[in-house]
């Protein structure tokens, strides 16, 4: 399988605190990869180092064969990022924000069809600040997809979305995956991870404690349900699973 994202020995510490500790991963084209772990496990830091928005202390990252620190401009034509809180003017309207975003990319897709797909077609003229939390979250997914990316990074994919909206987002992403989009996501919802992810990595204190499929994670745990297995892996208590 063609490798889209390759991370080798990635490390990052904050004032001596190891947030990401010698991470290795390889994600193939069209794969949906879930980076999991408790609050503070190091997911966002790892993603920011991968994107080059944070400088790692050690290790290398390659996305679509490029170094995000050195080939930023070319690479980011092909990479979409969902931000938790995008930087936008207070009073900007949905259509304007989409238009401005589209103007930054050569291969931008029609944002109207994306807004429709994510249930925001009737919000074109609304101010972004007037959207509900879940609508904003969906707008941020739309913004990530506007470049017509080959890879997207989706941090806390559906946090704040209602049950129906989450299902709709899953369906849309599955459709994009079928067309070859590579997706790296983080999520705290194990039903979502089961529904979407081909493979997962579970982080604990910056270290990978499991990498493989959801089925493999369950099989290597004493549990039958994935959520129970996940909680077992991430348990704060010292476990005998450290070497898994």
> Would you tell me which residues interact with ligand ATP (CB under 6 A)?
14, 19, 37, 39-45
Burial track 26-56 (b if 16+ CB lie within 10 A, e otherwise): bbeebbbbbbbbbeebbbbbbbbbbbbebeb
For residues 150 and 155, which CB has a smaller minimum distance to ligand ATP in the complex?
155
Nearest to 155 by CA among 18, 57, 41, 12: 41
CA dihedral sign, ordered 28, 35, 24, 20 = positive
For residues 27 and 203, which CB has a smaller minimum distance to ligand ATP in the complex?
203
Provide, rounded to whole angstroms, the least separation between the CB of residue 51 and ligand ATP. Answer: 13
Task: Give me the residues paired with residue 5 across strands.
Answer: 27, 63
Provide, rounded to whole angstroms, the least separation between the CB of residue 162 and ligand ATP. Answer: 21
For residues 146 and 197, which CB has a smaller minimum distance to ligand ATP in the complex?
197
Provide, rounded to whole angstroms, the least separation between the CB of residue 9 and ligand ATP. Answer: 17
Provide, rounded to whole angstroms, the least separation between the CB of residue 48 and ligand ATP. Answer: 8
For residues 83 and 171, which CB has a smaller minimum distance to ligand ATP in the complex?
83
Provide, rounded to whole angstroms, the least separation between the CB of residue 58 and ligand ATP. Answer: 16
Provide, rounded to whole angstroms, the least separation between the CB of residue 56 and ligand ATP. Answer: 12
Task: Give me the residues paired with residue 61 across strands.
Answer: 7
Provide, rounded to whole angstroms, the least separation between the CB of residue 41 and ligand ATP. Answer: 4
Nearest to 181 by CA among 41, 17, 29, 36: 29
For residues 120 and 196, which CB has a smaller minimum distance to ligand ATP in the complex?
196
Q: β-pairing, 207-212 with 199-204?
A: antiparallel
For residues 44 and 221, which CB has a smaller minimum distance to ligand ATP in the complex?
44
For residues 50 and 97, which CB has a smaller minimum distance to ligand ATP in the complex?
50
């Amino acid at each position: 399988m063609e490798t889209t994202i390759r991370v080798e020995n990635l490390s990052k510490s904050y004032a001596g605190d190891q947030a990401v500790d010698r991470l290795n991963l390889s994600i193939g084209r069209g794969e949906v990869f879930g980076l999991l772990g408790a609050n503070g496990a190091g997911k966002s830091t790892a993603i920011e180092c991968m994107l080059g928005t944070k400088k790692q202390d050690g290790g290398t990252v390659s996305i679509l064969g490029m170094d995000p620190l050195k080939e930023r401009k070319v690479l980011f034509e092909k990479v979409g990022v969902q931000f938790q809180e995008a930087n936008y003017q207070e009073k900007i309207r949905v259509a304007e924000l989409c238009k401005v975003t589209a103007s930054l990319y050569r291969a931008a897709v029609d944002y109207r069809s994306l807004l429709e797909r994510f249930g925001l077609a009737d919000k074109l003229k609304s101010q972004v600040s007037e959207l509900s939390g879940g609508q904003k979250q969906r707008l941020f997914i739309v913004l990530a997809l506007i470049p017509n990316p080959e890879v997207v990074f989706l941090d806390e994919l559906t946090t704040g979305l209602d049950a129906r909206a989450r299902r709709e987002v899953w369906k849309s992403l599955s459709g994009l995956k079928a067309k070859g989009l590579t997706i790296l996501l983080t999520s705290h919802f194990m039903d979502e991870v089961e529904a979407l992810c081909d493979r997962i990595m579970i982080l604990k204190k910056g270290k990978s404690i499991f990498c493989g499929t959801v089925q493999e994670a369950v099989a290597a745990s004493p549990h039958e349900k994935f959520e129970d297995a996940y909680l077992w892996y991430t348990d704060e208590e010292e476990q005998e699973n450290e070497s898994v």
